Amino acid sequence: MTATINPGMAETSFSPNSPEQIKQAAYIAGQAADMRINVELETGGMTVNLGPQHPATHGTLRIIARLDGEQVISCEPVMGYMHRGYEKLAEVRTYPQITTLINRIDWLGSFANEVPFIAAAEELMGVQAPDRAQHIRTILFEMSRVGHIILFLGDLGVQLGAITPVFFAFRDREHVLNQIEAATGGRFHPNFNRIGGLKDDLPKGWIAESKVCMEKCLAFCDTIEELLFGNLIFQKRTRGVGVITPEKALDFGLSGANLRASGVDWDLRRDGHLPLAWNKTDFKVITHPDGDAFARCWVRLQETREACKIVNQLLDTLPAGPIMAKVPRIIKVPAGETYVSTENPLGEMGYHVVSQGGLGPFRVKIRSASFNNMSIAPWLMKGVYVPDIVTILASLYFILGDIDR
């Protein structure tokens, strides 16, 4: 039995052949696995694992926290419990098949995952989707943002102890999901984008129903503002907690609302050059100078309102026309590589697609927002109290599928 501890360095392979050596090999392997804990020479403090099965973390995230009473000395997130090998899967699948799979990376804002990938493939092919398709893509993108952040706001309540907002959130998210299902056929995994446009056009009456749906979502935003944000207890729990300065935010690669809540005015919908229909709408980019947990939550609330307004504007100005450009039946994307990223509900999500002219891509690199958002956690959580760990994680907002892919 050969046990190579570090496969990169062939000289260190060592073949144990006696029981003591086998035991020693197992011991070293165990120590290496938990190296972060054992190499530290700190003697005080209690090590507590939050997760991987835990009500607070949005999925299988493990946080190893070293505590001194109620204060955190150090905090280390361990990711990877949900790694599904998307980039490897993409090497052996065709473009329509990959579109199906990548719905499941950020499973709450599922339509938004497909868009940058399809945009990258269209760029490589030199195909422009017709105006109507771009409009509807933007509408569904913003609707999935609304649904996603509504769930975030409800979940925020649960993390902080308010058990009521989450039920309102799920109830109002149902309206968005029903609309997405009416148009695409799938509530969580629409699988609606195709290279060159969309799969189907909208069913009759969808525009009027979506307007009603957006009214209800705006009403929910008002409800949650009254129920949660105006509450003194919520403000005391979140103001001044987990402050991120703009420089640190840029250093760690944060994106989305986390970046804007630290005062950095950056929004890919306005600043990136994307083919979708955002430049035809009028919306505000909302920032907050504080950079604490409250700022992040507040920015997301206002972004939901702006997203509802964007959807309303786009529903009013939907152009007539075809839904799909002229593309061959069997799609072979010519050789080349490109990187397209969009302002997803969680942050900046990008796909670097390398094609060698086959039915499927040669390599796809997925830049997910939550991975970078989580990377700031160890720096951010020095010296906070244990309840603040949950507040900070809740306000940074990640989805495990997005971190681990």
Partner 1 sequence: MLAVTIPYWGQTIIKLGTVLVIIPVGGLLIGYVFLLKMMAHMQSRLGPMEPGGFHGWYQNIGDALKFIQKEDIVPAQADKWVFSLAPYVVVISTFLLYLVIPAGPDAVISDLKVGVFYSLAVGSISVIGILMAGWGSANKYSLMGSLRAAGQLIAYELPLVLAVIGVIIQAGSMNLNQIVKAQESQQLFGLNVGGVPYIATQFVGFVIFMIAAQAELTQAPFDMPVAESELVTGYMTEYSGFRFLSFFLGEVASAFALSAIAATLFLGGWYVPLPHGILSGDNIFNVAGPLILAAKIFFISFLIFWVRFSYPRLREDQLQTIAWKYLIPISLLNIMATAVLKVVF
Partner 2 sequence: MPLPKAPESVSRIVGGLTGGMKVTIKELFQPNQTEQYPKERYAPPTRARGVIALKEENCTACMLCSRSCPDWCIYIEGHKDKAPARREGGKPRTVQVLDRFDIDYSLCMYCGICVEVCPFDALFWSPEFEYSEVNIADLLHDKTRLGEWNQTVPEKLELEVGADKKKK
Q: Which of 73, 157, 77 is nearest to 384 (CA)?
A: 73
* Contact flag: residue 96 with partner 2 (CB under 8 A): yes
Pick the stretch among 60-68, 176-184, 250-258, 262-270 that binds partner 2 (CB under 8 A).
176-184
3-state secondary structure (DSSP) of residue 216: helix
Cα angle 318, 198, 216; round to 5? 55
* Contact flag: residue 159 with partner 1 (CB under 8 A): yes
Determine the straight-line distance between the first and last CA of the chain, rounded to whole angstroms: 33
Q: Please say which residue, 139 or 160, places its beta carbon nearer to partner 1.
A: 160
Q: Please say which residue, 44 or 289, places its beta carbon nearer to partner 2.
A: 289
Dist. CA 270–CA 107, nearest whole Å: 25
Pick the stretch among 105-113, 121-129, 227-235, 365-373 that binds partner 1 (CB under 8 A).
227-235
* Contact flag: residue 181 with partner 2 (CB under 8 A): yes
Task: Tell which one of 74, 110, 113, 191 touches partner 2 (CB under 8 A).
Answer: 191
What, of partner 2, partner 1, none, does residue 320 touch, CB below 5 to 8 Å by kind?
Answer: partner 2
Q: Please say which residue, 182 or 386, places its beta carbon nearer to partner 1.
A: 386
Task: Tell which one of 136, 146, 160, 364 touches partner 1 (CB under 8 A).
Answer: 160
Long-range residue pairs from 5-10, CB within 8 A, at least 24 positions apart, any chain: 5/29, 5/32
* Contact flag: residue 298 with partner 2 (CB under 8 A): yes
What, of partner 2, partner 1, none, does residue 160 touch, CB below 5 to 8 Å by kind?
Answer: partner 1
Task: Tell which one of 23, 84, 239, 382 touches partner 2 (CB under 8 A).
Answer: 239
3-state secondary structure (DSSP) of residue 193: strand
Dist. CA 393–CA 377, nearest whole Å: 8
Task: Tell which one of 231, 313, 338, 375 touches partner 2 (CB under 8 A).
Answer: 231
Dist. CA 399–CA 314, nearest whole Å: 28
Q: Per-residue contact track with partner 1, 36 to 65, x per CB under 8 A?
A: ----------x-x-x---xxx---------
Q: Is 83 left (phi over 0), alpha (psi -120 to 50) or beta?
A: beta
* Contact flag: residue 390 with partner 1 (CB under 8 A): yes
For residue 165, cis peptide bond before it (omega within 30 degrees of 0)? no
What, of partner 2, partner 1, none, does residue 389 touch, CB below 5 to 8 Å by kind?
Answer: partner 1
Beta pairing partners, 340: 351
Dist. CA 148–CA 304, nearest whole Å: 9
H or E element, residue 68: strand 62-68
* Contact flag: residue 193 with partner 1 (CB under 8 A): no
- Residues in contact with partner 1, total (CB under 8 A)? 31
70 phi and psi angles, rounded to 5 deg: -105, 0
Question: Using an 8 Å Cβ cutoff, are 368 and 397 in contact?
Answer: no
Q: Which two tokens stand for residue 69?
A: 């009473």
Task: Tell which one of 66, 148, 237, 296 touches partner 1 (CB under 8 A).
Answer: 237
Question: Using an 8 Å Cβ cutoff, are 22 and 33 in contact?
Answer: no
* Contact flag: residue 126 with partner 1 (CB under 8 A): no
Task: Tell which one of 23, 84, 88, 236 touches partner 1 (CB under 8 A).
Answer: 236
Dist. CA 353–CA 106, nearest whole Å: 18
Q: Is 89 left (phi over 0), alpha (psi -120 to 50) or beta?
A: alpha
- Residues in contact with partner 2, total (CB under 8 A)? 51
Helix 206-224 / helix 165-184 crossing angle, nearest 10 deg:
160
Task: Tell which one of 4, 15, 164, 279 touches partner 2 (CB under 8 A).
Answer: 164
Task: Tell which one of 72, 160, 183, 214 touches partner 2 (CB under 8 A).
Answer: 183
Pick the stretch among 78-86, 120-128, 222-230, 369-377 that binds partner 2 (CB under 8 A).
222-230
Query: Cα 241 vs. chain centroid, distance in angstroms?
Result: 22
Dist. CA 383–CA 380, nearest whole Å: 9
Beta-carbon-side half-sphere exposure of residue 295 (alpha carbons within 13 Å): 23
* Contact flag: residue 97 with partner 2 (CB under 8 A): yes
Task: Tell which one of 117, 141, 220, 234 touches partner 1 (CB under 8 A).
Answer: 234
Q: List residues binding partner 1 (CB under 8 A).
A: 46, 48, 50, 54-56, 70, 157-164, 167-168, 171, 227-228, 231, 233-234, 236-237, 385-390
Q: List residues binding partner 2 (CB under 8 A).
A: 93-94, 96-97, 100-101, 132, 164, 168, 171, 178, 181-186, 189, 191, 199-207, 223, 226-233, 235, 239, 284, 286, 288-289, 298, 302, 318-323
